[in-house]
Chains A and B, each alone.
Chain A
Amino acid sequence: MTTPSISLHLTLRAVVVVALALAVSGCSANWGWYVVDPTIPSGASNLLFLLSGLKYTILLSLTAIAISIFTGLLIALPGLSEKPLFRGINRTYVELIRAVPILVMILWVYYGLPQLADISIGVFWAGVIALALSDSAFEAEIFRAGIQSIGKGQYEAAHSISLSYTDTMRFVILPQAIRRILPALGNQLVYMLKMSSLVSVIGMQELTRKANELVVSQYRPLEIYTILVLEYLVLILIVSAGVRWLERRLKTDERN
């Protein structure tokens, strides 16, 4: 229980030290930290403006990852089938989606999809759909690898106690597979948080968009983007610690 919070603590402290070092060096190299200095009113309001993007970055990433994990699992299952048709569906989806760059996917979903399907999609949901779609192909491959890593004996034992396919997956295979793929799922969540910055191009008011807007009015890109880097860094360190904690908790379940 103590190690991860200590390591998070140490990392955060290192981050603060680096930030201070940058700030100090800034004094001699014409850095203008006043733009985000919380002790002066304009700096404080700029800082709050930057932080206000946090809500959408988090909301967007979490919604997208939840959808993509669910979709990824649904796409992974036919990939494990003995029937070539089902495997074909899985392969086609994965290869097709994986080949589209995320930025292109965002543009296509926001500008293209409404025209194709004759619907209107807001910026937030366009971002969620694009990110979830892109990520689902990777989640599908992660799930497939995880499920395939579970030995044949587990299926045979489940068969021998009469479990249906759904129950075998739900109670025997997936609980074990998910423990194994947790580090990879954590990776994808980190990746998602970073890729959510791309949704700024269609006007989503998340961290990167806020920083861009502030740069335009304040002309201090170095300081503002440095704060942006730190925002992502802190966010992702917290997510990493969370994933590690979950990993350990699930492991103790087995050892007790």
Chain B
Amino acid sequence: MDAGRSEPVIRMENVSKFFDDFQALKDVSLDVALGEKVVVCGPSGSGKSTLIRCINRLEKHQSGTIRVAGVELDDRRESLNAVRANVGMVFQQFNLFPHLTVLQNLTLGPVRARKMPAAKARDLAMRYLERVRIPEQAGKYPRQLSGGQQQRVAIARSLCMEPKIMLFDEPTSALDPEMINEVLEVMAELAASGMTMICVTHEMGFARRVADKMVFMDYGEIVEMSDPAKFFTAPESQRCRDFLEKILHH
């Protein structure tokens, strides 16, 4: 994939983010090209989640600039629209709507936000449910599904908005071990289809398989950023080496 050569679809420059006195992001810069897959890892509290939450404006950064599909993120309506049209997100806790069926979870966005006719939204939803391999669960409520199934529904729900970029915030961290693979499998297929992805995850097997770029964060900074081959064999910083040591040989 010649991802590196095209115009970046996400460009973060010197982004800082504070929660009161605590600085969650320190001068972070990151470019993501269209179609590129970035895996972000690092110890807990290192700012990984904050980084991707800033990209779809669930958090507001205080300094630096973030551009998504060419639009700078700030308080303008245009920014919000750019995020809405381009960015999908999958959460650690799935965050499905518990009072709606799987199908209703999927069609709500297309019908309400994209003004799609109900029948068309239904077809779209069924298509994505087939893609995440659970079309037979369409009529069920989230609580009737396993964690792995719920997360796949959540992925399908995001895809129904047909975003350019998908953000994954530790999508397998809340899952029982036997369900992790079914979710990673769906994510790997999505990666193969050419989707631009930023994944916060500690699943290093998955990272090796799909990542174009590895990012290691610690204390709110990007400490190491390199291609997976170099990242896993010869990381430059001691902090990154220590971290990999811990999660690869536990």
On A, residues with C-beta under 8 Å from B are 151, 153-154, 156-157, 159-164, 167, 171-172, 175-176, 179, 253-256
Contact = CB atoms under 8 A, between A and B. Distances in A.
Given A161-B158, A163-B108, A256-B140, A175 B89 contact: no
Contacts of A167: 112-113
Interface of B: 56, 58, 84-85, 87-89, 91, 93, 95-100, 108-109, 112-114, 140-141, 143-144, 154, 157-158, 160-161
Given A256-B141, A256-B144, A159 B99 contact: no
B110 to A, nearest CB: 8
A172 B97 contact: yes
Contacts of A255: 141, 143-144
Interface of A, helix, strand, loop or mixed by DSSP: helix
17 contacts: A153-B93, A153-B95, A154-B97, A156-B91, A157-B91, A159-B56, A160-B88, A160-B91, A161-B160, A162-B114, A163-B113, A171-B97, A171-B112, A176-B99, A254-B141, A254-B143, A256-B144
A175 B100 CA distance: 10
The main secondary structure of chain B at its interface with chain A is loop
B173 to A, nearest CB: 14
Contacts of B161: 161-162
Nearest to B160: A161
Contacts of B99: 175-176, 179, 253-254
B56 A171 contact: no
A255 B96 CA distance: 14
Nearest to B97: A172
A156 B96 CA distance: 10
